[in-house]
Structure 1
Amino acid sequence: MKNRYAQTALLLLIPLYLLAQPKLSTDFTVTTAAPFPVIDAGSKEYFSDGTYVVSVKTRAQKVTIQKFSIDGMKEVTRKEYTEWPPYLKVQSVMKMKGKLYYIYASYDKKGKFNTIYSREINTDDLSLGAEIMLFKSEKKIIPSGGTGGVGFMGMAIGGTMIKVFKSFDESKILLCYRNAPKERDDRINFDVLGFHVFDANLEKQWGGNIKMPYTEKVMNNLAYGIDKDGNAYMLAYITEKKNFELFSISESQELTTHELDVEGSLFFKKMNLYENADGNLVVAGLYSNGLDFKMSWTGSSTYSYNVNGIVQYTMTKDGNVLSTNDIEFPIELINMYKSARAKASNERRESKGKAGISDLQMREIVTNEDGSTIFLAEQHYSKRVYSGKSTKTYYYFADMVITKIDKDGKVVWQKKVPKSQMGMTGKGGMGVAYVKGKDSHYLLYLDNVKNADIPLSKVPAQHRDGRGGFLTAYKINDASGEVEKHTIFDVTNVKDMQAYQFKTTRIFEVKDNVFMVEVYIKGKQDSMIKMELNQ
């Protein structure tokens, strides 16, 4: 009798289970690969030539290079390399003019200096070229440190010491770093920054240390870049003057300053600086009209960036500003997915010119061949909660704003799309992966199953990191800005395979409208998942 009741209860639950399963998008074909032995590594980079994927993975003194067949969906080969200089730290795995380079640092404890090397990776047989010394630092290079976010010179934080910038035509690269300060007091310390320029074959053009013209306390370093002629540039905000200056450094290693005729009352966390096809410099980023001062219930305080919009400056290489595009967020965009209380507050702030989107951070700036530009920004913040003697930190990744402007700086379209993620182990599997397709832009992220079938106008339920989730994509048409939402797969059941570890940082494009992601499936095995947009 008990078995009969159990069977009846199970039959009653089946329809509920089926109703809970969202309808997966028919626009994508999903394929899984044969499992292969896992490689534990803190740094994982992926590169595709349309036929094969080459991954480069670094853990301590071991570098593993894998080759993977895109059509065959299987690992072809792998090679391990363990003979490296002491205290290996990967700085960049970089593709230039079809060649793949592994750039890394070594540290001399006795001499207290760093040496930066490169080795070319042969993508056919996965062999490594000869070790080439790029340069030695005069002092110890200061790592950016931390476990996430953006630090000195816009570096991706996590121990990276060197930041790499490419010219728009990929003919030159700039390696930047900060030397250990001479003085600990930033009121009297003048930073000494390293600038080294190379061509596409990593042949050195020039390089050396440049002393900054202002003390560390009064300088806010915002952006760095390089042009096709090998000249380096730096944008800084000078707090004592309340203005912006462009620094240019040529092969002579002389620093020239140019005071910019731009609004000095704006606040920036980070900017992007690059040369455009016309040979002028473009500086772009998110801006705030002011900083919000927030006090927590524990008595601690912090400043918050309430982002009011996007600004883009076009200037000559000697700092003559040719145009300024101030793309202020409209109140209608700011209020999307907000509570009635938050909307009322924003309306009051709007009357004072202070309404904005809190904790918005720039993720991507992409310049298209026609001169138009795509800006992708994502809300990200963290909170500390004190409970007795313990402290817990919660990490949040929320709504995204994507904007397209034409070559003249006019807005073609601007969209705010909802997302709600929370976790307690740093970024984890949260955040957004941006992939540029042939005619569309894709924003991929993990979402709560409850959000699969809700309209774009509705506030989504929160996704908890580490609790499964559905890989979801916003598809934005490049021409019209039309938004579609696609639920691609359930990470706990991808063609009968469960992904126990899923990170959006491991999503990459292999060719037009084909994406892949590497996942951990337990049993000390990894697998690849391919997502192909049906034509």
Structure 2
Amino acid sequence: MKKTIFSLLLLTATFFSYGQKELSSDYSYAVSEPYQVYDSPKKYYFSDGNQILSIKPWKKSVVLQKFDVGTLNLISAKEYEDFPDNYVVEGMKQLQDKYYLFYSSWSGKQTEHEQLFYREINFGTGEFMGEAVKLIDIDGRLAGTFASTAGVSVPFAFGFGVTDKFDFLTSLDESKILVQYRRKPEVKNDKESYDIIGTEVFDKSLNKLWSNEYTMPYTERRMDVEDLAVDSGGNGYILAKVFHDDSNKDKKKRKDEEANYHMELFRLSKGSSEIEKTKIDLGDKFINGISLFESYEGYMICSGFYTNGLNNELHNADGLYTFKITKEGKLVDEKSYEIPLEVLNQYVKNRTKKRNERKDEDGKAEFEHMKLRNLVISDDGSLLLIGEQTFLVVHRTPKRTYVTYHNNDILVSKIDASGNLAWMRKIPKRQIGQPKMGEVYDTSKTYKGGMSYSYFNANGNHYIVFLDNVKNIDLELDQIPALHSDGNGGYLTSYKINDSTGSFSKGSILDTREVTDKMEVYQFSNNRIVKTAEDQFVLEVYKKQKEDVLIKVDIK
């Protein structure tokens, strides 16, 4: 059942807005009229440049909203209540000009079938196109994440249930989508159980191209999946960390001279029930994180961070690496790039600088808790890698135990088309947050809330945008940034990095506590930002009184 809540004709000559402001000469912003808020643990945003489509699932309904980018006017809002009682939203994907909402539904104990459905959305009308279509029907239970909104939860766990049962991966050209699932193990002992992974590949119209189930070559105890990918030919890939024994996985002992694991690439292809395996070996460098990306040239690119030897912590980074994987599964063009001491010593305490200098003499200086977040492949073959310092801290007191999540400095590195390091820049950031009771965090189990960052590129520049403490507006290179506490206001800040030279500048876009003279906004999240043009993005925020607003930011 569909309920049309609001609909209007675009007023092309009139712009209703709270006004336009400018804190920096590089940015200006405009704010829309407020409109009715719709609660949803996870919200999706898409834009064709002229309009914005938002999808907001919640409990027994899904709301589709359309907005005009030019005026920021709400065009329409439609609520659909024809979803099954036990539906669980699994994801939302764009495949070229098509938009699909995926949800799962468990058939019950009598039949025990896990079913995946999709509903296509017409972007132009902002409506679902017809009824739900069953895409996958599996006899038996799938592994997932048990969750409850009564406490710390995961996306779309409305009440009690299992979510995150399906992974959705799209090719670089958005012509293929791979849906992957894992059967619930029959043997509870992970030293004896082998995962069974299901892989189904579809074209952009969701016509099935091929499917298969694979029994993994190692036990659950001996293998961790690091990343998944699909190429434009419809081949699936799994990057796995493979452990050498059943001990404490990648924990190392002081006397260990080599890591207790190595990396392998599994290739899954149509017409073959066998897994093609390729061992990934970086010599004396130990991989502490790895991600897989498809390039425009048709090969896959692996990238991540490494540590030098076992004298250093395996979750830290001495440098970054890249290599290519040919269609035949061979590793070529292996490159590594050490993080310079002068980069490590930016925005840190003097005692940290001295410690890094002592460690550097033995080749042990490193960037702590670094994780690869983005890899951007340019048309000229150059790469931009963005890593973020992220970790959690467990606090124990006599009365309670709690966890704080930290998203700190950002490392941005450019590798030119010849494979040389063009430049490397450290962006200072200190963010701390703690999920509230019932608050949703992402499936990486790292709470983000309003923390972390968004990335854009425009007019030959790269932009890193995040919420920061107002005290950091005039931060100097030798100063340590003040801590930003998630949920306590903040300035939306942008670092502009020139692609050719790596030179950067900083600008403040807006103050969330005074977006207009009479308006403070809340519930900022990088997941609620959508790029609408080469030099423009729009974010949705809450203004209280059960109303949201859109903020359009223009990059000059």
Same fold? TM cut 0.5: yes
Residue 372 of structure 1, CA deviation? 1.4
Q: Answer yes or no: is the 8 Å Cα contact 2:242–2:264 preserved in 1.
A: yes
* 1:400 corresponds to 2:403: no
Cα contact 1:435–1:508 (8 A) shared by 2: no
Q: CA RMSD in A?
A: 2.5
- Asked if residue 112 in structure 1 is aligned to residue 116 in structure 2, the reply is no
Write out per-residue CA displacement over residues 378-406 of structure 1, whole angstroms, 9 at most, x where no aligned residue: 11122122221212322221110011112
Q: Where do 5+ consecutive residues of structure 2 fail to align?
A: 1-21, 156-161, 246-260, 436-446
How far, CA to CA, are the matches of 1:258 and 1:398 in structure 2?
36
Deviations 1:304-350 (A, max 9, x none): 61122211111223332221011221122122112222122223333
- In structure 1, the partner of 2:397 is 387
Corresponding residue of 2:263 = 244
Match of 2:291 in 1: 272
Matched, 1:365 2:378: no
CA distance in 2, matches of 1:190, 1:265: 30
Where 1:221 maps in the other structure, the secondary structure is strand
Counterparts in 2 of 1:250-329, with a 5 A limit? Answer: 250-260=269-279, 262-263=281-282, 266-268=285-287, 270-289=289-308, 305-329=315-339
Question: Residue type of the partner of 1:142?
Answer: A
Contact map agreement 2:311 2:364 (CA 8 A) in 1: no
**1:13 equivalent in structure 2:** none
> Equivalent residue for 2:341?
331
Residue in structure 1 matching 2:470, options 433, 438, 449: 449
Give the secondary-structure state (helix, strand or coil) at the position aligned to 1:214: strand
User: Partners in 1 of 2:505 and 2:200 — Cα distance?
Assistant: 44
Cα distance in 2, alignment partners of residues 393 and 487 from structure 1: 30
Output the CA distance in 1 between the equivalents of 2:309 and 2:224: 16
What is the alpha-carbon distance in structure 2 between the residues aligned to residue 79 and residue 269 of structure 1? Answer: 45
Query: Are 1:428 and 2:454 an aligned pair?
Result: no
C-alpha separation in 2, matches of 1:201 and 1:305: 41
Residue type matched to 1:139 in 2?
G
- Residue equivalent to 1:491: 512
* Distance in structure 1 (CA, Å) of the matches to 2:239 and 2:449: 32
**Offset of residue 144 of structure 1:** 4.7
One-letter code of the match for 1:533? I
Structure 1: stretches of 5+ with no match in the other structure: 1-22, 152-157, 294-302
SS at match of 2:474: coil
Q: Which residue of 1 aligns with 2:137?
A: 136
Between the aligned partners of 2:308 and 2:535, the Cα distance in structure 1 is: 39
Q: Does 1:102 align with 2:101?
A: yes
Paired amino acid for 2:491:
F
2:331 corresponds to which letter in structure 1? V
SS of equivalent residue, structure 2 residue 403: strand
> Measured at CA, do residues 312 and 145 of structure 1 come closer, stay the same or move farther in structure 2, by a change above 3 Å?
farther
Q: 2:165 aligns with which of 156, 161, 179?
A: 161
Q: Describe the superposition over 1:184-228 as per-residue Cα deviations: whole angstroms up to 9, x where unpaired.
A: 111111110111101111111111321111111222322222222
Q: CA deviation at 1:28?
A: 1.3
Q: Tell me the residue number matched to 2:547.
A: 525
Counterpart Cα distance in 1 of 2:105 and 2:285: 39
1:427 alignment partner, SS class? coil
Corresponding residue for 1:7? Answer: none
Report the 3-state secondary structure (helix = DSSP H, G, I; strand = E; otherwise coil) of the residue aligned with 1:460.
coil
Q: Secondary structure at the match of 1:358?
A: coil
Matched, 1:32 2:41: no
Cα deviation digits, residues 445-490 of structure 1 (max 9, x gap): 1111111122244211111222211111111112221211011111
1:197–1:206 Cα contact (<8 Å) kept:
yes
Partner of 2:524: 502
Contact (CA 8 Å) 1:197, 1:230: kept in 2 or not? yes
Asked whether the equivalents of residues 348 and 479 of structure 2 are also in contact (C-alpha less than 8 Å), the reply is: no
Q: Structure 1 residues 24 and 202, CA, compared in 2 at 3 Å: closer, same or farther?
A: same
Tell me which amino acid in the other structure corresponds to 2:542: Y
- Relative to its length, the structure with more helix (as a share) is 1
Question: How far is 1:36 from its partner?
Answer: 0.2
> Which shows bigger deviation, 95-104 or 517-526?
95-104
Partner of 1:14: none
* Aligned-pair identity (%): 34
Shift of 1:230: 1.2
Deviations 1:396-446 (A, max 9, x none): 211100111123321122100101112223432211111222422111111
Q: CA, structure 1 residues 220+39, in 2 after alignment: closer, same or farther (shift >3 Å)?
A: same
Question: Offset at 1:149?
Answer: 13
Aligned CA distance change for structure 1 residues 517 and 45 (closer, same or farther; 3 Å): same
Structure 1 residue 520 displacement after superposition: 0.5
Instruction: Check whether the contact 1:247–1:255 (CA below 8 A) recurs between aligned residues.
Output: no
Name which of 488, 508, 513 aligns with 1:467.
488
CA contact (8 A) 2:347 2:477 kept: no
What SS is found at the alignment partner of 2:342? Answer: helix
After superposition, the Cα gap between the structure-2 partners of 1:145 and 1:359, relative to the gap in structure 1 and judged at 3 Å, is farther
Corresponding residue number in structure 1 for 2:69? 70
Offset of residue 85 of structure 1: 3.0
1:77-112 deviations in whole A, cap 9, x for unaligned? 011111123422222211111111112211223133
Contact 1:291–1:306 (8 Å) recurs in 2: no
Q: 1:333 is paired with a residue of what secondary structure?
A: helix
Tell me whether 249-258 or 203-212 shows the greater mean CA deviation: 249-258
User: Which secondary structure state, in structure 2, belongs to the residue aligned with residue 474 of structure 1?
Assistant: strand
Q: Residue 356 of structure 2: SS of its match in structure 1?
A: helix
Q: Which residue of 2 aligns with 1:6?
A: none
What does residue 254 of structure 2 align with? none
Q: What SS does the aligned partner of 1:24 have?
A: strand
TM-score (norm 1): 0.87
**Displacement after TM superposition at 1:51 (Å):** 0.7
Q: Is the 8 A contact 1:167 1:274 kept in 2?
A: no
- The secondary structure found in structure 1 opposite 2:355 is helix
Q: Match of 2:497, SS?
A: strand
| Distance (whole Å) between structure 1 residues aligned to residue 324 and residue 551 of structure 2 | 41
